[in-house]
Structure 1
Amino acid sequence: MTRGQEKIAWARAHMPVLAEVGRELKESRVLTGLRVAISVHLEAKTAVLALTLHEAGAELSVTGSNPLSTQDDVAAALAAAGPAVHARRGAGEAEYREHLRRVLEIKPQLVLDDGGDLTALLHGECEQAGESLIGICEETTTGVLRLRELAQAGKLRWPALAVNDARMKYLFDNRYGTGQSTWDAIMRATNLLITGKRVVIAGYGWCGRGIALRARGLGAKVTVCEVDPVRAAEALLEGFPVAPLAEAIREADFLITATGCRDVVRWEHLLAAKDGLVLANAGHFDVEIDVRDLRERAKGRRARENVEEFSLPGGKRIYLLAAGRLVNLVAGDGHPVEIMDLSFALQALSLAWLARKGAGLSPGVYPVPGAVDERVARLFLRSRGVRIDSLTPAQRRYLGREAADRG
């Protein structure tokens, strides 16, 4: 067994929910013969998702959604198992874009996107590749934002499911997954102590709050920076000091961005930072920290794997992790396996739902059906040996719920 196969086998052994969904998809044959284009962070857990769809009869073409998150040993193992794979760790921008284009050469009927790059190409230079497309499933906050921008502009051409907005996604993947995997990657990259350090989290959405909770659990002193007054109020009442970034950065030992927005950390912020600040980004794209401006203004050098040291005026040093890209996948293995079991079960069931229903939908961004969300939750509880109560008929009538709870 190769190293990539070992990684995939380990992940698969800890993904019981997706395994059950895979059995259902095989029996229903709903994906049999359908062409599916996939852009994901190509590592062991996503390989299990791809293999599940492949074994259910889908014809796959797969690429990575970030040029630094692909694990080559996993990509090779996945390709050896049957799906077409176009990805390489460290691919330059031109090669990365070419991989995306090659994936779309199958003229997909379904798209599983992570960040919206395939979707963008289908609405641009690869428009002809979408002639048979039924619909799109989008995994991330960033990708859903891009879909909604297309829809608001009247340009979205197909129905798309916002998988990121499903409760079994954001309550678990975004919060618990991002929280653990971000700190796992930071500690792998730096080998520095977290306890007693001052940590600043920019952004208090579900990802940011997960990072903040894990930082507090590690003994850090955490400050939150926000532009949304409601989220800032949440952070404050959950016990975190809240301050503008320009103030908070002055005492920060670690600064982590999780906003989904661009230019969050700029040169003027870095000039106010103290010596030794460690910078990391937990957002999908490498735009939250203005890395381009930093490279133009400061001299950088490799300090260790996934760590760059930059010398600022006055002799201060700051350390940038993972080139400002998604730190948990560049410097780590991404979210815990059991968390992605839930997210990928949602993705697989969402693709199946689109295969059945998508042709009858108008272009637009749709929520994951509640029955799909609940199905994943019930499968998860069953896998943990947990039983719950059900509503009585009188309670269902009182709440206006017609469908009986099952499981």
Structure 2
Amino acid sequence: MDCTVDYCVKDLSLAPDGERKIDWVSRFMPVLQSIRRDFERRKPFKGIRIATTLHLEMKTAFLLLTLKAAGAEVSAAASNPLSTQDDVVAALAKAGVRVYAIRGEDRERYYEFMHRALDIKPNIIIDDGADMISTLMREREELVEDVWGASEETTTGVIRLRAMEKEGVLRFPIIAVNDSYTKYLFDNRYGTGQSTWDGIIRTTNLLVAGKNVVVVGYGWCGRGIAMRARGLGATVIVVEVDPIRALEARMDGFLVMNMMEAAKIGDIFVTSTGDINCIRREHFEVMKDGVILANAGHFDVEISKPDLEALSVEISQPRPNVTEYRMADGRRLYLLAEGRLVNLAAADGHPAEIMDMSFSLQAKAAEYIKDNHERLDPKVYVLPREVDEMVAKIKLAAMGVKIEELTEEQRKYLASWEHGT
């Protein structure tokens, strides 16, 4: 382990491998490239301190280097112990980012590193899951007066932050980047859909076609997972608590059941809800032998590991990132990536082209906080529509796509109330 005041990484000599990874993904992130060129010219974050808790892999690294190129002092800790890429964090440390992360770090070190990232006394926070914000509010209250605002990447984090707003404990404004159109419509749906199955297939080397796949939760992430499972040839079953989403899933052509029904016939289960114990003891008790259990939600609480452990008579690891739980009756249930985010813990996360949009929004959210924090109340906000449209236009141009423009006649028509039947 290589540690100084400015960084703590597994092995600084891994930096060249990380640099090559970052260079590779940056070629497929044209929107963030455009923002970086603008930031390098203007230096909007000169003298500003930005602390981050994110999945520390190659696409994230390009965002952090973009913020540094804009003049910011940047610190980083991991938002998940198993999503850190040690060569990438070594490259970040070499580039001057204050990074504290080691793949597989335990809970104690996870929070120790988060505190070290907070030691820069940030003006802006970029969070993924709201752990850094909640830690700041509970344990580092002396830093609050320096914080102008924060942005949040995930559905889970936004849920936590809206709960904080409702209870009146928020002390600074939050930008819910997750709720921007060019984030959730693409990152949550197409990014999660592809990367989740990448993680499952890479880890198990098993066929998806012909299997019953149970998708627990039909939000935007669940939609993507279900869509890609169908494309791989599976019969897809959706489990939902929201009647409107359940109806939508049925009309999208998927089977819809409650968890107990689905538990009896599923071959592969994927959770994506942001809630706790969605698959638990009574469901494990009726599952078939050889079931695969995977989680695509932010925290490792959606599949009850305590219940799995209590029911099992033997626990082993037949493959990397696969834990086998053998039941008393001989059935074997397989949990992937310790129940953590399977797409990041067992694979490389979302494709670069997807994170290009999400991280461009994060960069612009940081600038929006810098420019507007004095007039924003301690509430949860969404970025202005024009930021979404800017990201979409640059992305379309990079893809070689031209869209239609309204004529002046059409603009006037849409702005008028006088035209009728």
For this structure pair, what is the TM-score category when the shorter chain's length is used for normalisation?
over 0.9
**Distance in 1 separating the partners of 2:100 and 2:250:** 45
| Paired residue type of 1:32 | K
Match of 2:165 in 1: 151
8 A Cα contact 2:144 2:171, kept in partner? no
**Distance in 2 separating the partners of 1:394 and 1:121:** 54
Question: Which of 133, 141, 149 is equivalent to 1:135?
Answer: 149
- Per the TM alignment, residue 354 of structure 1 is displaced from its structure 2 partner at its CA by 1.0
**Distance in 1 separating the partners of 2:250 and 2:280:** 25
- Which segment drifts farther, 1-10 or 325-334? 1-10
8 A Cα contact 2:170 2:378, kept in partner? yes
Match of 2:49 in 1: 35
Matched, 1:46 2:94: no
| Paired residue type of 1:285 | F
8 A Cα contact 2:22 2:62, kept in partner? yes
8 A Cα contact 1:114 1:140, kept in partner? yes
Question: Which of 303, 317, 322 is equivalent to 2:318?
Answer: 303
Secondary structure (helix, strand or coil) at the match of 2:359 reads helix
- Which segment drifts farther, 8-17 or 169-178? 8-17
8 A Cα contact 2:195 2:349, kept in partner? yes
- Per the TM alignment, residue 394 of structure 1 is displaced from its structure 2 partner at its CA by 4.3
Q: Please list the CA deviations of residues 123-164 of structure 1 after superposition, one character each: whole Å capped at 9, or x if unmatched.
A: 110111222111101000000001100000001110000000
Matched, 1:272 2:286: yes
Matching of residues 7-406 of structure 1 within 5 Å? 7-298=21-312, 299-400=314-415
| Paired residue type of 1:329 | L
| Paired residue type of 1:43 | E
8 A Cα contact 1:31 1:58, kept in partner? yes
Secondary structure (helix, strand or coil) at the match of 1:280 reads strand
**Distance in 1 separating the partners of 2:407 and 2:137:** 48
| Paired residue type of 2:325 | F
Secondary structure (helix, strand or coil) at the match of 1:272 reads coil
8 A Cα contact 1:38 1:112, kept in partner? yes
8 A Cα contact 1:36 1:109, kept in partner? yes
| Paired residue type of 2:311 | R
Secondary structure (helix, strand or coil) at the match of 2:257 reads coil
Secondary structure (helix, strand or coil) at the match of 1:210 reads helix
**Distance in 1 separating the partners of 2:352 and 2:119:** 31
Secondary structure (helix, strand or coil) at the match of 2:317 reads strand
Q: Please list the CA deviations of residues 231-266 of structure 1 after superposition, one character each: whole Å capped at 9, or x if unmatched.
A: 000100000010011111111110000011101000
- Per the TM alignment, residue 392 of structure 1 is displaced from its structure 2 partner at its CA by 3.2
Q: Give the TM-score, by structure 1 length.
A: 0.97
Q: Please list the CA deviations of residues 11-65 of structure 1 after superposition, one character each: whole Å capped at 9, or x if unmatched.
A: 1111111000111222332212210001100000000100111111111001110
| Paired residue type of 1:66 | N
**Distance in 2 separating the partners of 1:59 and 1:396:** 45
Q: Please list the CA deviations of residues 288-337 of structure 1 after superposition, one character each: whole Å capped at 9, or x if unmatched.
A: 00112222331311111000110113111100000000000000000011
**Distance in 1 separating the partners of 2:86 and 2:203:** 19
Match of 2:7 in 1: none
**Distance in 2 separating the partners of 1:249 and 1:74:** 39
- Per the TM alignment, residue 167 of structure 1 is displaced from its structure 2 partner at its CA by 0.4
Q: Give the TM-score, by structure 2 length.
A: 0.93
Structure 1 segments, 4+ long, off by >4 Å, are none
Secondary structure (helix, strand or coil) at the match of 2:138 reads coil
**Distance in 2 separating the partners of 1:374 and 1:396:** 18
8 A Cα contact 1:30 1:356, kept in partner? no
Match of 1:405 in 2: none
Q: Please list the CA deviations of residues 314-370 of structure 1 after superposition, one character each: whole Å capped at 9, or x if unmatched.
A: 111100000000000000000011000010011101111111111221100001111
| Paired residue type of 1:317 | R
**Distance in 2 separating the partners of 1:133 and 1:309:** 45
**Distance in 1 separating the partners of 2:248 and 2:400:** 33
RMSD: 1.2
- Per the TM alignment, residue 287 of structure 1 is displaced from its structure 2 partner at its CA by 0.6
Q: How many pairs are equivalent?
A: 401
Identity %: 53
Matched, 1:3 2:17: yes
- Per the TM alignment, residue 83 of structure 1 is displaced from its structure 2 partner at its CA by 0.7
**Distance in 2 separating the partners of 1:32 and 1:313:** 61
Q: Please list the CA deviations of residues 211-242 of structure 1 after superposition, one character each: whole Å capped at 9, or x if unmatched.
A: 00100000011110000000000100000010
8 A Cα contact 2:43 2:69, kept in partner? no
**Distance in 1 separating the partners of 2:246 and 2:348:** 30
8 A Cα contact 2:311 2:328, kept in partner? no
**Distance in 1 separating the partners of 2:111 and 2:119:** 13
Secondary structure (helix, strand or coil) at the match of 1:2 reads helix
**Distance in 1 separating the partners of 2:222 and 2:328:** 30
